[in-house]
A and B are shown apart, each in its own frame.
Chain A
Amino acid sequence: MASANPYKTYLNIWLLLMFLTFITVYAAEFDFGALNVPIALLIASVKAGVVALHFMHLKYEDSMTWIFAIYPLFLLFLLIAFSATDIFTRVAN
């Protein structure tokens, strides 16, 4: 199921993750204003994606597993989106 030399791949992946962690910390030194959170989340998501795909073997799983991996993210989005919509559109009625 794994590629030719999995240990080497894992090592590369680990190095990539370390590099991305460094970028996260480094990027936090600068102030991008409103973009601070999106940038942090973007890098975190790349890291998370790499971990899921390679370390967790999502790459090799069937479509059912993909659905169960992604659907909760959608629900999480709903939870945040709806409750935030409520809280930030409460003008005096």
Chain B
Amino acid sequence: MTDHHDFDKNYLENGKGFKSWFFTVDHKRLGVMYLWAIGVFFVLAAIASFLIRFEHLSPGQTIISAQTYNVLFTLHGAVMVFLFIVPGVAASFGNFLIPLMIGARDVIFPKLNLYSFWIYCAGSLILLLSLAAPVDTGWTFYTPYSIDTGTNVILVTFGVFVLGFSSILTGINFIVSMHKLRAPGLTWDRLPLFCWAAYATSLLQVLATPVVGITLLLLIGERYFGLGFFDPAKGGDPVLFQHFFWFYSHPAVYIMILPAMGIISEVIPVFSRKPIFGYKAIAYSSLAIALISFLVWGHHMFTSGQSKLINIIFSVITFAVAVPTAIKVFNWLWTMYKGSVELSAAMLYSLAFIFLFTIGGLTGLFLGALAADVHLHDTYFVVAHMHYVMIGGTVFGLFSAIHFWYPKMWGKMFDEFKAKIAFTLIFIGFNIVFFPQFILGTQGMPRRYFNYAPEFETLHQLSTYGTWILGVGFIYMLYTLFKPVGAADSNPYRSVSLEWQMPSPPPTLNFKEIPTVTTSTYDYGTKVEQEA
């Protein structure tokens, strides 16, 4: 029809101006826009967290009031969870990569993909509108506090409800794309592990999100009509709200982490020049996690007043989920065995992911053990555990992806050396922020506390100083990324997977001819020593 059929034109050059981006159906442009959006929200929520940490430099009021503090941690949690990390890697890199990896010209429902993005924008806007009278419930909206607090709960929950549709529609799009659009020869056991992870994530998005949707709708009903399901004063049950909420929010943890795991599975083989170790185990454990993660939500509620029997059941199943995760960690490690390992910035982030995620996972064992959780629940131990998984895991995975696919996305290279300096600062800063919090929590420092006892001061201060290093590292990373140095080859890392076998940046229609796949995505190394 028009010039976009010109195959030589890459997706970045095909059309200029706001309209050509905001109304595009090109999955690559949508992926890039999601990346921008989550980046902006990440910075917003990070600023909130810096203020929170600054407040803790001394006990009592340091810079902000108690009410502002409560608003800030709610804002930090809600924006980080619903605007940044849930759409996060799946929507940005999922959109950019899945069609390239499966050898398709786009996702199966390109227009729906655009609508999902619009819905995401609308939901974010609604959620942020609530800043006019900011909410102080915490991102978990526990009843009955959220029913009777005077703040803008309805607007925020409605925003989350709308965002849910974006999540669901993106999930449907990815699942159906992977069923219907894989290139000839790209069988399920040749599919890149990032796609497997995205598939498992999409399943969770499609099946878990509606439950939180109805829960938040009912919460709105509680506030408007006084429905009473979650209000003890009306014969309802606040713990039931927690059941409904965590039925979504526990699988949501895996919505956040699985795509990052997928990224690690892509990056490590490339920089080790080895096939991924235990392809099937990693692929199936993604699926296993997706299925079992629906069975463990109650481990967020061991001290909530849940019955003893159900606590025990949830504890057992929780330990069952720990196993597939352990398998993945060792498989990634063993991929490097006898390889040819190059420590690029992307690889450094991936290796840091393995280490930090191991700590995050192991500290989960403390929380899964019933008697220990009684002590540790709702303390800083949980805060530290969660951030080791979410930052040490997801965010490090995202940074790895940003560096790894940078040449493919922008057609340019960044300064590797500077990127490694930024990595070092981020890694050190992160650990200084969050490791002391494990100790704080074990000593009994509760979370969501504006004020704290003087004996916790040293560790709190240490943690706050860490945020400054982390912040500097993050700014330096952005600086490095915004200053490209020279053009990129189509395949600077000599990867064998499909998305690198095309020009950088990719042409608008991806493939002139749909490719036929004949080998595995991880076809590295010589076959002499295969299978002892």
**Contact residues of A with B, CB < 8 Å?**
64, 71-72, 75, 78-79, 82-83, 85-91, 93
Contacts and interface: CB of A to CB of B under 8 A. Distances in A.
Given A83-B243, A87-B237, A87-B240, A78 B307 contact: no
A86 B179 contact: no
A75 to B, nearest CB: 6
A48 to B, nearest CB: 18
A89 B309 contact: yes
Given A86-B307, A89-B307, A93-B308, A71 B243 contact: no
A78 B295 contact: yes
Q: Determine the main DSSP class of B at the interface with A.
A: helix
Given A75-B207, A79-B211, A93-B308, A86 B239 contact: yes
A85 B309 contact: yes
B306 interface: yes
B313 interface: yes
A72 to B, nearest CB: 6
Q: Determine the main DSSP class of A at the interface with B.
A: helix
A72 B306 CA distance: 25
Contacts of B294: 75, 78
A72 B298 contact: no
Contact of B247 (A71, A79, A89): A79
Given A79-B247, A83-B243, A86-B239, A71 B207 contact: yes
Contacts, number: 47
Interface of B: 179, 207, 211, 237, 239-240, 243-244, 247, 294-295, 297-298, 305-310, 313-314
Nearest to B295: A78
A88 to B, nearest CB: 8
A85 B243 CA distance: 11
A83 B207 contact: no
B211 A86 contact: no
B207 A90 contact: no
The 8 closest A-B pairs by CB, nearest first: A89-B307, A83-B243, A86-B310, A90-B307, A89-B309, A86-B307, A86-B306, A93-B308
Nearest to A76: B211
A90 B309 CA distance: 8
Nearest to B208: A75
A91 B247 contact: no
A89 B207 contact: no
B299 to A, nearest CB: 12
B207 A86 contact: no
B211 A85 contact: no
Contacts of A86: 239, 243, 298, 306-307, 310
